[in-house]
Amino acid sequence: MTMLPGITRSTTGIDDVSWNVLGQTYVPKQVSESSMAWHATLPKGTFVPPHIHPTQDEFIYVLEGRFDLLLNGVEAYAEPGDVIRLPRGIPHGIYNKGDSTIKCLFWVAPARRLYDLFWALHNLGPDANPADVVAVSAEHEVDFLPPSET
């Protein structure tokens, strides 16, 4: 997929796409072989459990709200204006433990199979079986970690 020049407006995504992924809204803003970017809205109480991208570096620019994170086993947080760097192979989980919605811009490099993964997760529906989410994600190069014993 070749990136075309142009503008993706603030109110829309590529081809008017919007995904519901794990209760969060993801709107793709750019996709090419070398990278992918999407705007994400994470309502309070939503999260993405610890996982690894073995083939991608991931970044998050926080626009609104406070992210609580688990980065390679260490708790951290990020606030508006912060950039979260998630190198490939490093386990990470993201959480909205606050009382407000988080809005942010994610991007990954290279794009690999993430665009297809978001379609697959969206198509599982809002009440997806966690085992299905884990299996579909693994097929698309995102590996969820087993739940912690604590």
Rounded Cα distance, 19 and 38, in Å: 10
Residue 52 clears pLDDT 60, i.e. is over it: yes
pTM comes to: 0.92
What domains are there in the chain, each with its CATH number? 20-144 (2.60.120.10)
Residues 107-145: tens digit of each pLDDT? 999 999 999 999 999 999 878 888 899 999 999 999 999
Q: How far apart are the first and last CA of the chain?
A: 43
- % of the chain beyond a pLDDT of 70: 98
From residue 41, how far is each of 28, 30, 64, 101 by CA, in Å?
Answer: 12, 17, 9, 7
Q: Quote the pLDDT of residue 72.
A: 94
User: Average of pLDDT values for 40-66?
Assistant: 96
